[in-house]
Structure 1
Amino acid sequence: MSSSSPLFSSFLNCDDSNFCFPVPSSSVHFLRSPDHFYNTLLQRVESAKRRVVLSALYLGTDALEQRLVHRLAVAAKSVATKRPVEVRILLDFFRATRGATANDGKSSTTMLAPLCIYDNVEVRLFHTPKLRGLLKSVLPERTNEIVGLQHMKFFVFDDTVLITGANLSDQYFVNRRDRYLLIEDCPLLADFFVDLFHLVGDNSFRLLADGRVEFTAGGTLLPIHPETGSFPRIQSQICDAVDKLFAKYKVKVAKQKATDAALATKMPDSADGTTTFVVPFLQMGLFNVNQEVELLSKLFSCCTTTSGQNVDDKLHRLDFTLISAYFNLFDPYADLILHKCSAPFKILFASPQANGFLGAHGLSGHIPAMYELYALDFVRRTVQANKTDRIAFSEWTRPGWTFHGKGIWVEEWHRRRPQNDATAADVADTAWRPGPRVATVVGSSNFGFRSAHRDLEAQLLLVTDNDALRERIAEEKNSLFVHSELLDPSVFLRRDCLIPAWLKYAARMFRHFF
């Protein structure tokens, strides 16, 4: 990898001490739109020859989802034509069963149960061990989902991986903006996510063809029942399993580097000597798996500068962009961004009109206003800290659409090294130029408290110095800002008076559930 900022290198090096998968830059693609996402799912399921793994919060029940399930059924039945395709699906227990007892009786599980007649189909439903006993008995359907969810969104088709923040529901296929990273022909990365499916799935309920669920051993782990088993034992078992998973693939990646001559020195992905790699990381706070918190805390800390009297301090800069549809930053991230990080930040969040909960029934209908309050709180803290000169806020709105995007971008900038007798002030007068590397985080996390402590999250950090891929990354980022408006903090803060006092109180009380 080409010469780069010491700020960047302190965090984003891929060497023997870091866990990263080398990938050819030509294999990395960003899908453009919800319909592109949907059509890719259909095409990849249809063309799969060995395996399909789908992990999401839930599967919808309308016509587009029925078409997807039909494709899965065709793939599963193909075992009779000597083209066996293993179909594995992981959803959240509570979200996937929501609606099963309603008048129409439709749910994710009623959609998928007919597939379970095939031996090569496995549908797993993760049940958070935090919801049990009296609490489970008193919390109604939908409300019970605030306790914790299976929120990972990754899809494997043979040796291709698609990681996203989108669910398998018609809004996500039509008019809900999200991000979708497709990495083709990367067997080791695909194997990793298949093993991640089994790690969580083996500790989950299994859906049966008659619609019932059972909790039985699914692999090498002896599962502990999430409702009746010891929570410390569950926590320890899954935490240990995650450690073993990453240790296993660290060895596999090292062997791949050692046996591939093209990767022997800093993993050039082509004849031009550029490098692209991805780093998978998880956040399962309830199981003491805190890879996201550790990685992002390090990332937001690595851009701290000194007082600026040293010439070298003026030669490099990192710029950050952070987007979160449900903006409610985890406190440690917010504190680092406001008080330790010195880098420019662009932050994008959904307007109340673009919030996915807009128009929801009951108390859920107030969720867009609650997220607006959380955004107001962070903007207010930014103003109070006198950081509006380096932290800019934008709000996404598009009529008829909702916004579900999430992620982080890191871009390096350089100045030319001046003559030996130049001062820091002299350097400050020279122009900034783009550095050789860019990084982006893609996955399911909204970087809030519930992502850190309640839900299961999976992400990929993509790093490259390949010019063509850098351009694709920039195009994807810029496309997310097309329907956004830069906010004037003082004007935005005036919205606070429009929100009723009772909702402000409720937002503070329930902040750690969002």
Structure 2
Amino acid sequence: MLATIHSFRSIAPTVKTASMATCVRLLATQTAKSRQSDEDYVAKTRQLFHDNRPALPRFVVQGETVKPILSPSKFYSEMKDHIKKAQKSITLAALYLGHTENDLVEALSEALRSRPGLKVNLLLDSLRGTRDSGKGSSASLLYPLLKAYPSQVRISMYHTPDLSGLLKQVMPPRFNEGIGLMHMKVYAFDDTLIMSGANMSHDYFTNRQDRYVMFKNKDISEYYCDLVKAVSDLSYGLQDKGDTFQLKIGSGVPDPVEQSSAFKKHATKTIRAFMKKWASVQQSPKDASFDTTLYPLIQMGPLGIRQDERVTLSVLDHVLHDQELEGAAKVFITSGYFNFEKRYSQSIIHTKAANVGLIAASPEANGFFNSAGISKYIPPAYTLIEQRFFNDAKKAGNADRIKIEEYARKGWTYHAKGMWVYPPHSDLPVMTTIGSPNFGYRSIVRDLEAQLFLVTSNLGLRKSLHEELSSLRKYAYPVTEETFKAPDRQVPVWVGGASRAIRTML
């Protein structure tokens, strides 16, 4: 409807003197031109990925097999439903499993009990997954599952090689997680994949807004299961030690703590072999119904693998600075943490060919709001980074092109991340990203990340992606100069220096 409204406005002067039949023909012609313009933009965007060297894996699917999930509760119900239905395999990768998620563990247990041929592979971060809150940890919650079904269950805990030696000894729990984490979010059930930025805990299933997109496709599910397996092979394995558990590195894999340099060399070789294997997958449309192309990317800074960063910069350059287009594209980017890496930030601030909308968590919607200890100053640090960006955009003369919004919903926190791209004169997106990166420093240099770029001409899917963005913006409010003058947004002076010092950890 919105596209039609725009088209109607553009021909309004003609309508005054034209017959109704002429109006209809003009409107149809304008709409057809708009559709063709969108198709041309899609083709140009796809070519950007196809020209990439080294080659990226490419999967082509039908748009009807892709479905955004709009709420945390629906995400949780879909997960539990697919656990019940899975016949062959379940692969779950996240930063951690909440220590109270007994229902989810019981659902896995029931699935394993009723289907002896079912295999379950869980990958978590070692630091976060073994952190004991006083009520247990991810590892202690999952241990009974491993003990009951040792031949069906594999539980792996990835440990960053950047936390080793003296640093490992002196950094206390929780703070040591700033050095680097396994941050990928992958949920696969046989031939169904849910890509997300959400972890597996109560808040992510109830009142912590994230993003979740479901794909019903064997090939893309297999890719991500293989990625999780590759990282699992580099991780500590949770093992039964009689009345408790232990973490043990796999045979032939250097210990990431004791042999950091050797581990990095081995892990880099392993992941590059994975990338080379899947780069050969270059699917083409089987027919016109295969209208959606998927490009999975990974980013593993500690291993020198920066695929997602390279491609994201290329896409931003294409979308934000292509002045050959007739009209301005629209780009929306969201992150739970407003802390763009410098090159991302500069590309956005100096946009010449697109209007940009940025969505971030308000201080109250930040997961660290009113937390204990020094971490309560993390939301003010993000406020300061956001204010600097706001002022830089104004200095660049792009205050009208770039708009910031903050998500604020009573009782909710915000963790969504991703990008939507709308062609010029269009009210529906043709591209989005979905995955774990926050477009920030630590996503690039410290953590293991997985992200998927989706390009589509499918009208139904484009409408669904637009609805997904609209559902996020429903609770987002404009940021203005007055925002930063509010008493509750005043930031202690020392936070400014500290935020610069630890920016790569935020």
TM class, shorter-chain normalised?
0.7 to 0.9
Q: 1:157 to 1:34 in 2, by over 3 A?
A: same
Which of the residues 143, 158, 172 maps onto 2:204? 172
What residue in structure 2 maps to residue 283 of structure 1?
Answer: 299
Give me the whole-angstrom Cα distance separating, in 1, the residues matched to 2:330 and 2:379. 29
What residue in structure 1 maps to residue 191 of structure 2?
Answer: 159
Correspondence 1:422-461 to 2 at 5 A: 432-433=425-426, 438-461=430-453
Correspondence 1:51-450 to 2 at 5 A: 51-62=89-100, 65-80=101-116, 84-99=117-132, 102=134, 104=135, 106-117=136-147, 118=149, 119-184=151-216, 186-210=217-241, 211-217=244-250, 222-231=252-261, 233-251=262-280, 253-254=281-282, 257=283, 263=284, 266-268=285-287, 270=289, 275-303=291-319, 305=321, 313-315=324-326, 317-339=328-350, 341-413=352-424, 432-433=425-426, 438-450=430-442
Matched, 1:485 2:485: no
Give me the whole-angstrom Cα distance separating, in 1, the residues matched to 2:183 and 2:458. 31
Give me the whole-angstrom Cα distance separating, in 1, the residues matched to 2:162 and 2:185. 21
Shift in Å at residue 304 of structure 1? Answer: 5.3
What residue in structure 1 maps to residue 26 of structure 2?
Answer: none
What residue in structure 2 maps to residue 472 of structure 1?
Answer: 464
Give me the whole-angstrom Cα distance separating, in 1, the residues matched to 2:433 and 2:254. 33
Give me the whole-angstrom Cα distance separating, in 1, the residues matched to 2:279 and 2:140. 39
- RMSD across aligned positions (CA): 2.2
Q: Deviations over 1:91-143 (max 9, x none)?
A: 0111111116x3x3x11111000111221101000111111121111111111
Q: Quick check: 1:177–1:401 contact (8 Å CA) kept in 2?
A: yes
Residue type of the partner of 1:42?
Answer: K
Worse-superposed segment, 337-346 or 44-53: 337-346
Give me the whole-angstrom Cα distance separating, in 1, the residues matched to 2:288 and 2:265. 38
Shift in Å at residue 8 of structure 1? Answer: 3.0
Q: Deviations over 1:319-365 (max 9, x none)?
A: 21100111100111111112355311100000000001112211112
Gaps of 5+ in 1: 258-262, 414-431
Give me the whole-angstrom Cα distance separating, in 1, the residues matched to 2:486 and 2:176. 31
Residue type of the partner of 1:329?
Answer: F
Q: Quick check: 1:7–1:318 contact (8 Å CA) kept in 2?
A: no
Give me the whole-angstrom Cα distance separating, in 2, the residues matched to 1:87 and 1:217. 18
TM-score by length of 2: 0.87
Q: 1:60 to 1:479 in 2, by over 3 A?
A: same
Shift in Å at residue 238 of structure 1? Answer: 2.5
Give me the whole-angstrom Cα distance separating, in 2, the residues matched to 1:327 and 1:230. 31
Give me the whole-angstrom Cα distance separating, in 1, the residues matched to 2:386 and 2:265. 35
Residue type of the partner of 2:240?
Answer: A
Shift in Å at residue 236 of structure 1? Answer: 3.0
What residue in structure 2 maps to residue 503 of structure 1?
Answer: 495
Shift in Å at residue 29 of structure 1? Answer: 0.6
Question: What SS does the corresponding residue of 2:453 show, helix, strand or coil?
Answer: strand
Give me the whole-angstrom Cα distance separating, in 2, the residues matched to 1:353 and 1:11. 39
Residue type of the partner of 1:246?
Answer: M
Shift in Å at residue 224 of structure 1? Answer: 1.3
Q: 1:239 to 1:217 in 2, by over 3 A?
A: same
* Equivalenced residues, count: 463
Q: 1:128 to 1:268 in 2, by over 3 A?
A: same
Residue type of the partner of 2:308?
Answer: E
Shift in Å at residue 482 of structure 1? Answer: 0.4
Question: What SS does the corresponding residue of 2:240 show, helix, strand or coil?
Answer: coil
Gaps of 5+ in 2: 1-34
Question: What SS does the corresponding residue of 1:374 show, helix, strand or coil?
Answer: helix
Q: Deviations over 1:141-200 (max 9, x none)?
A: 11111110111001110011111011000000110011001001x111111111111111
Give me the whole-angstrom Cα distance separating, in 2, the residues matched to 1:22 and 1:474. 21
Question: What SS does the corresponding residue of 1:333 show, helix, strand or coil?
Answer: helix
Shift in Å at residue 476 of structure 1? Answer: 0.4
What residue in structure 1 maps to residue 65 of structure 2?
Answer: 27
Q: Quick check: 1:147–1:513 contact (8 Å CA) kept in 2?
A: yes
Q: 1:304 to 1:460 in 2, by over 3 A?
A: closer
Matched-pair identity in %: 33
What residue in structure 2 maps to residue 419 of structure 1?
Answer: none
Question: What SS does the corresponding residue of 1:11 show, helix, strand or coil?
Answer: helix
Q: 1:282 to 1:9 in 2, by over 3 A?
A: closer
What residue in structure 2 maps to residue 11 of structure 1?
Answer: 48
Shift in Å at residue 269 of structure 1? Answer: 5.2
What residue in structure 1 maps to residue 76 of structure 2?
Answer: 38
Shift in Å at residue 26 of structure 1? Answer: 1.1
What residue in structure 2 maps to residue 429 of structure 1?
Answer: none
Q: 1:239 to 1:49 in 2, by over 3 A?
A: same
Give me the whole-angstrom Cα distance separating, in 2, the residues matched to 1:504 and 1:495. 17
Q: Quick check: 1:7–1:317 contact (8 Å CA) kept in 2?
A: no
Give me the whole-angstrom Cα distance separating, in 1, the residues matched to 2:247 and 2:95. 19
Q: Quick check: 1:7–1:303 contact (8 Å CA) kept in 2?
A: no
Q: Quick check: 2:256–2:264 contact (8 Å CA) kept in 1?
A: no
Q: 1:230 to 1:60 in 2, by over 3 A?
A: closer
Residue type of the partner of 1:480?
Answer: L
Question: What SS does the corresponding residue of 2:369 show, helix, strand or coil?
Answer: coil
Q: Quick check: 1:7–1:302 contact (8 Å CA) kept in 2?
A: no
What residue in structure 1 maps to residue 19 of structure 2?
Answer: none
Q: 1:269 to 1:355 in 2, by over 3 A?
A: farther
